[in-house]
Amino acid sequence: MQVLLLGAGTVTSRLNMQLAEQGHAVVAQIAAFTPQHIDLFDFRALIVVSPESSVSPESLVKAAERGKLIFVIAGVGDGMSSWANGVGVPAFAYPPSDVDINRMYEELRRADAGNLAADDQYRRAVLGSDMSARIQSGMAVRKIAITSPKGGTGKTTVAVNLAVALALSGITTYLVDSDGNAGALQYHMRLERVNTTMIGLLRREIAKAGKGVMSDVASGATYLNAFTPLENLPTLRVLPGLITDDLGDEVLQQEQKVSEVIQGLYEAGVAAGGVVIMDVGINPAHVAEALQYRPKLMLG
């Protein structure tokens, strides 16, 4: 994992060497941290050795807003320790014992495996630990399809704004472009690089000879990994759809497989505790079948 190490004392220097021995890449070791450093270094995790560094909770909140994972090493009476414990950020004693160091490595391994998510830290550090829980407790609808019988009615605009609003509220939101006539989701979200697209996912699933798509729904890994997380909003993940050149692709003619993949995306997102929003376009047949009821929002 790419780590930015914050501190300038003996504990930090020793930790720098130990992280390298564990296979992590320390992109830099600095004594002070401000929000400007987020764009200066390419890192996924920020380890703060509080007594040996200079950083404010406000700067760490900014890092959490950008999807960075935060780990704090601080003394019992250190204000940084109180902040970390208050918002649920992993915190370890200073000076750390071997047990503390091993616990931190375990947390890093969990993060690498996807079991320590940036969206959870975003909810806790930015919104408050109970905000998302309060919002989600009253949510009965987690599968949403947006469609219209004609073009130009604002389907994508509604889908994007609804997804962003939910994500800003702390709800992990999965936004899918399933417009069979080529959608504009990637343009709206200003995505330059993506993990894959809807057409790419369809091609990969159909190419799995002798293996049913639904076997992946239980674990959800294939579907969840297809989404691209937004760096500036960790609670929002996006799966772009087709471009004009894809419209004649033969995989789009395999109706059953298309429906299975759409259902798999819905089930995986909901199983992960999120809300799934699909920008359907003008042909909601596959999505209606996957939902087993009429789409939730139609624009006339």
Alpha-carbon distances, residue 253 vs 228, 250, 264 (angstroms): 26, 5, 18
Are residues 139 and 286 located together in one domain of the fold?
A: yes
Q: 99 and 7, same structural domain? A: yes
**Lowest model confidence (mean pLDDT) among 47-56, 208-217, 262-271, 275-284:** 208-217
Residues 221 and 177 in one domain: yes
Element (H, E) at 275: strand 275-281
pLDDT at 232: 82
104: tokens are 């931190």
Q: Give pLDDT tens digits for 114-156.
A: 666 778 788 878 877 566 566 666 667 789 988 887 777 888 8
- This prediction has a pTM of 0.70
Give residue 288's domain range.
133-298
Shared domain check, 158 and 258 = yes
E strand or H helix that includes residue 3:
strand 2-6
Same domain, residue pair 111 and 209: no
* Tally of domains within the chain: 2
> How much is the pLDDT for 248?
56
